[in-house]
Amino acid sequence: MKHWIERIADELNEMDVEKHVIASGTSISGSIHIGNSCDVFIANAIGKALRELGNDAETIWIADDHDPLRKVPFPLPESYDQYLGMPYSMIPCPEGCCKNFVEHFEKPLFKVLDAYGIEITPKSGFEMYKDGSYLESIRISLEKHNEIKAIFDQYRREPLADHWLPYNPICEKCGRVNTTEAYDFDGDIVKYRCECGHDGEMDIKSGNGKLTWRVEWAARWKIFGTTCEPFGKDHAAAGGSYDVSSVISEEIFDYPAPYPVPYEWITLDGEAMSKSHGVFFTPEQWLEIGPAESLNYYLFRSKPMKSKDFSPKMPWLDFMDTFDKVERVFYGEEEAPSEKEGRKFKSIYKNAQIKADAPLPFRPPFRFLVNAYQIVGEKDLEKIFGILKKNSQLTKSFKDKDFCDLTELELAQYEERVDNVIAWLDKYAPKFVKFQVQYDSIPKLPLPDDQIAFLKDLADLMEEKEFSSAEELHDAMYEVLESHGLKPQKAFQAIYKMILGQKQGPRAASFLLSLDKDFVVKRLRQEA
């Protein structure tokens, strides 16, 4: 079973080209999040797949940093509206920590590229205009402006003005680029007027201007020799950017449009991600709560145009359950539900892997660690390991190991996962998931006589018998509560009240087995 990334690579492999260039791009209008960085992740994966097939393949990333600021991104102050309309590259850093606005928002992405195994050649739109990379394309676009206008008009309800030119100078008076209109040119000199009232001239060699988007996109395909490019579904709409740019590329620049890979937007808890409204989740934030492979898995587990909603809150546990299972199946630690599912799991995980042929990582179940960490009450890796072992939460390659047997790499992976759990509990976990074992004192919560009697009998049972599994203890607990005529909810509430000081908690049997036996027995008897 071939993954969709591999199928794309197979099709690209059939092209008669010396080198594949997989392009990606991001508008630097604010924080780069898991939605608008899909370009990068998909392009990187396709590039890797092509190289595995023996192709010369390069993945590039173009920062669209010469575009105008249209909305003030979160969390910048409203005072930043003074820069609306100005190219991102010419806006100062909001915190004074970087050379400009662009570097400030690029840094978090660049910081985590290695962690995700992303190999890209970064490019800057601003620098391309300044160093003359676009110069020939601009000249061709001005000379063939009537042909370009005719292409645009095919996709427009209202035709463009007769004097329209596919180029926007940066106004030398107000510094804006989305308020100017070029209306004439003589060689490399473009005449323009701006909404601020300024009427001026600009030399295209200065770099103080830019091609209109759909022309610019087509131009850079030829400049870089692009053979494939992922992009958001907005560009893929009928008569949208890709359709128009494809015609311009072929008819104006004499270059075939690259293989398109459109993808669906990612929503965050049902909301569209928005840099201006602060609704987004970044690749850097992802690494706080999960391994790099898990983001790849999230992006690659379904076809790119399938809708995706992400939540770092309670649904995160379900997601990590699935990821952990797929990882275990890939490494042969667990049987897949079926042969077909097994092939599917292995195909997805192979493309999610950061390093091919990486050894089995030590990543105990995320969901269980949420409870184990809180039971211990501190980041004591050895104690947490003991709880994992006692509850049979170690896979077959690790079940016979002791904590001291873990390799340096396994220990690092284990600590990373515990840190992920701690971060998730701190930032995203709902209140009902959180608890704290009251080791120092008995919670002063009233219990009726039948619950007190149940707890005493449960204490006797746990003192007298050794339980080999949570399932065995669970069945025994039910016998005790039924003998007292208690409903399970009331019985378990009594346990939680006595140990946690609250009415709910983790699965009772596993919870009790994870605690020190003497402590449990004494606490259930209200002795300590």
Q: Is the pLDDT of residue 271 over 80?
A: yes
Residues 234 and 58: their CA atoms lie apart, in Å, by 25
Q: Which CATH superfamily is domain 4-134+212-267 in?
A: HUPs (3.40.50.620)
CB of 229 closer than 8 Å to CB of 261: yes
Rg of the Cα atoms in the chain: 30
User: Where do the H-state alpha helices sit in 169-272?
Assistant: 213-224, 233-236, 241-251
CATH of domain 449-524: 1.10.10.350
Q: Is the pLDDT of residue 30 over 80?
A: yes
pTM of the model as a whole:
0.94
Segment 354-371, tens digit of pLDDT: 999 899 999 999 999 999
* Res 102: pLDDT: 97
CATH 1.10.10.770 fits 305-431, yes or no: yes
Question: Within 10 A of 143 (CB to CB), how many other CB atoms are there?
Answer: 12
The two tokens of residue 512 are 């009790």
b/e per residue, 146-173, with b = 16+ CB within 10 A?
eebbebbeeeeeeeeeeebbbbbbbbee
Can you tell me the mean pLDDT for 189-205?
Answer: 97
Domain boundaries, the chain: 4-134+212-267, 158-211, 305-431, 449-524
Residues 360 and 370: their CA atoms lie apart, in Å, by 22
What is the chain's mean pLDDT, rounded?
96
Fold of domain 158-211: SH3 type barrels. (2.30.30)
Answer yes or no: same fold for 158-211 and 449-524: no
Positive or negative torsion for Cα 76, 80, 84, 89: negative
CB of 420 closer than 8 Å to CB of 290: yes
Higher pLDDT, 185 or 77: 185
Segment 69-110, tens digit of pLDDT: 999 999 999 899 999 999 999 999 999 999 999 999 999 999
Contacts of 357 (CB under 8 A, 6+ apart): none
Cα–Cα nearest to 208, from 271, 268, 126, 101: 126
Q: Is the pLDDT of residue 1 over 80?
A: no
Segment 132-178, tens digit of pLDDT: 999 999 999 999 999 999 999 999 999 999 999 999 999 999 999 99
Segment 283-307, tens digit of pLDDT: 999 999 999 999 999 999 999 999 9
